[in-house]
Chains A and B, each alone.
Chain A
Amino acid sequence: MTGPMNNIQHLIPEFERWKERYPAGFEGSLTIPCLRRIQEERGYIADSDIDELVAYLGVPRTQVDEVLGFYTMFTRTPLGHHHLQVCHNVSCSLRGADGLLKYLCGRLGIQPGETTPDGKFTVSTAECLASCGTAPMMMVNEAYHENLTPAAVDALLEELTK
């Protein structure tokens, strides 16, 4: 999850397979899937990744920059090993999201948007994650954790710190 990427060459065979299901001539569509895949591997998008992707897809650099700035799931800087995103939209707020956020930050000793000193946890807030019927909830990296209580948060943190 750390360190800049030297190249994306080893991912290109995978990207080439993806291309087969797209109509020919519209490779620019692969910008977002490729960026997602690079970030999945490295944890964030480095400048060198952008250069190589631009060269591979033949899309303008500004297009990639705009995409990275627009979508909330892309990050240009490394996050903690576990990214805890607390939903604080309407349904979660009505079911205790404010208390969950406060409790979580209290346990980790950080504010929303910060990372613990050992780089293990980053806490942030998210708008609706379509888990309204099982609120309050948070997303840990890719996984949803729903119907959270203080005991459930404690158990989860214990599991993640192992």
Chain B
Amino acid sequence: MTSPATYPMPELSGRKFFMNFPPTEQSHSLHDYRARGGYQALEKALKELQPADVTKEVLAAGLLGHGGAAFPAGRKWGVIKPNDGEDHFVCMNADEGEPGTFKDRWILEYTPHLCLEGLILASYAIGGRHAFIYIRGEFDLPFRRIQAAVDEAYEAGLLGKNILGTAYSLDVVVYRGAGSYVCGEASAMLASLEGRKGWPRNRPPRLTVKGLYQKPTVVNNVETLANVPVILNLGAVEFKKTGTPKSPGTQMISISGHIARPGVYEVEYGYSWEKFLYEDCGGMQGGKALKCIIPGGVSTKILNAQEIKGVTLDHNSAVAAGSQLGSGGMIAVAEGTCMVRLARVIQRFYHHESCGQCTPCREGMGWMERILDRIVRGEGRPEDIDRLYRISNANDGTTICSLGDSAGYACTAILDHYREEFEYYILNGRSMFDGRLAVDDPFDGAVPAPLYHGVAV
């Protein structure tokens, strides 16, 4: 059985909304969640507030989406009229698949009732009778924990007919995906929920107009929904005192790669990026210097050590620095890492995950990967660099979803910063850094004792 991901609870200054309790083997249970004040917001909303009041409070709090795009959650909800007699749906996006991002997993494993309460509140706000939790197929423990939370909620009268004795009823389905990154894109997710392959679709019409089963649908990230009970408990005014005026609240940051203390952290928006990296996360493995950061999942443009100087962890600051905070999935890369091989790993991912619907993405991803493969094999050609830029440009804005754009940006941002590494590799047929990716490889020099007498790689 899989154990929950364990990281030391980080001691960061600032307010915490999620990581404000000691995680234990039972902290995911309804009993423990209620002991932390859980479901008080739901009780208050169902008994004292009209659906539109819930939306108003979320809008007033300025809650931004935590899935990557940072679109205001209240504005998304506000499009739907709760009493128009139509079916409306809310879908929690728990398809956490962006490389480098694993913060929703922490919420699902340790406090699943928090996001479930947020889902029920969102459904109440838009007048939904059915809601869905779309969780990535590979997530076994998070699935079992959120399913157990749903089952507990049904038993406790927090889901099903006449919740908490009120007129409001809601059914929730935990829907497990089957392995596809693109299903994290909202329209692809809905296609998957309808039992089809996860192809994104053109918008407009927006999903809040025609979404799941052609009905108005809101898709929100796990962390976004987890913020909703917090907002209703604190009130929008108090919530807005946290973070920055344009990015209120906190952000779960998952950090990995060559960092001394990888894990999940919660920071108030506006927190110093350098302090976070060099003090809270302990700097780089083995005391190395920072080469660059992938800020918010591989779909966001890399920034080098100079570019994060004075930058704070909030959306505006990250955009001003030339990238995005994205989903808060940060990957640290230490000096001495071969960026050509790293670019190839990223491109392999995008090629693997392209759904194949749009020609520029389907063909472009494979083409870019083949070029990078050739360079890594020592068979690069001088024209390859320009070709990579050209293919990336051809993808930009020509595909239905942003997977094609992101893949191009990821590769060209590395080229912009480390072009000399590519030129050296092409000219000399080898890496400037011996093709190194791991700083401290636990398998370096390890000789496997064969269990079977087959062909070893």
Q: Given A23-B129, A132-B254, A139-B138, 7 more contacts at CB 8 Å? A: A96-B438, A100-B443, A106-B448, A108-B452, A128-B181, A129-B138, A142-B140
The reply to whether B139 and A127 form a contact with Cβ atoms under 8 Å apart is: no
The reply to whether A132 and B256 form a contact with Cβ atoms under 8 Å apart is: yes
Number of interface residues of B (CB under 8 A): 81
Which residues, 1 to 42 on B, are CB-close (under 8 Å) to A? Answer: 1-2, 5, 7
Question: Taking the complex as formed, is B383 at the interface, i.e. its CB lies under 8 A from any CB of chain A?
Answer: no
The reply to whether B451 and A133 form a contact with Cβ atoms under 8 Å apart is: no
Closest 3 CB pairs of A and B: A109-B454, A99-B443, A31-B195
Question: Taking the complex as formed, is B177 at the interface, i.e. its CB lies under 8 A from any CB of chain A?
Answer: yes
Docked CA distance A57–B195 (Å): 11
Q: How far is the CB of B81 from chain A (nearest CB, A)?
A: 19
Given A73-B138, A127-B99, A149-B442, A110 contacting B454 (CB threshold 8 A): yes
The reply to whether A90 and B257 form a contact with Cβ atoms under 8 Å apart is: yes
Docked CA distance A143–B4 (Å): 11
The reply to whether A133 and B254 form a contact with Cβ atoms under 8 Å apart is: yes
Q: Which among B99, B198, B342, B349 is the interface contact of A132 at CB below 8 angstroms? A: B99
Query: Chain B residue with minimal CB distance to A73?
Result: B179
- Contact residues in B for A132 (Cβ distance below 8 Å): 99-102, 254, 256-257, 262, 329, 331
Docked CA distance A67–B443 (Å): 37
Return 9 A-B CB contacts under 8 Å, by A number: A32-B192, A35-B178, A67-B195, A67-B197, A89-B345, A91-B331, A93-B437, A95-B257, A127-B352
B binding-site residues for A, Cβ under 8 Å: 1-2, 5, 7, 87, 96-102, 104-105, 129-130, 136-141, 171-173, 175-181, 192-198, 213, 254-258, 262-264, 294, 298, 329, 331, 333, 337, 342, 345-346, 349, 352-353, 355, 437-444, 446-457
Query: Chain B residue with minimal CB distance to A106?
Result: B448
The reply to whether A21 and B172 form a contact with Cβ atoms under 8 Å apart is: yes
Query: Chain B residue with minimal CB distance to A134?
Result: B5
Number of interface residues of A (CB under 8 A): 72
Q: How far is the CB of B449 from chain A (nearest CB, A)?
A: 7
Q: How far is the CB of A135 from chain B (nearest CB, A)?
A: 6
Q: Which among B102, B333, B353 is the interface contact of A131 at CB below 8 angstroms? A: B102
Given A128-B99, A130-B102, A136-B442, A26 contacting B178 (CB threshold 8 A): no
The reply to whether A128 and B98 form a contact with Cβ atoms under 8 Å apart is: yes
The reply to whether B451 and A96 form a contact with Cβ atoms under 8 Å apart is: no
The reply to whether A71 and B180 form a contact with Cβ atoms under 8 Å apart is: yes
The reply to whether B178 and A32 form a contact with Cβ atoms under 8 Å apart is: yes
Given A26-B213, A73-B178, A105-B456, A133 contacting B263 (CB threshold 8 A): yes
Docked CA distance A133–B257 (Å): 7
Interface string of A69-92 (1 = CB under 8 A from B): 111111000000000000011110
- Contact residues in A for B87 (Cβ distance below 8 Å): 23
Docked CA distance A117–B346 (Å): 33
The reply to whether B179 and A67 form a contact with Cβ atoms under 8 Å apart is: no
Query: Chain A residue with minimal CB distance to B96?
Result: A130
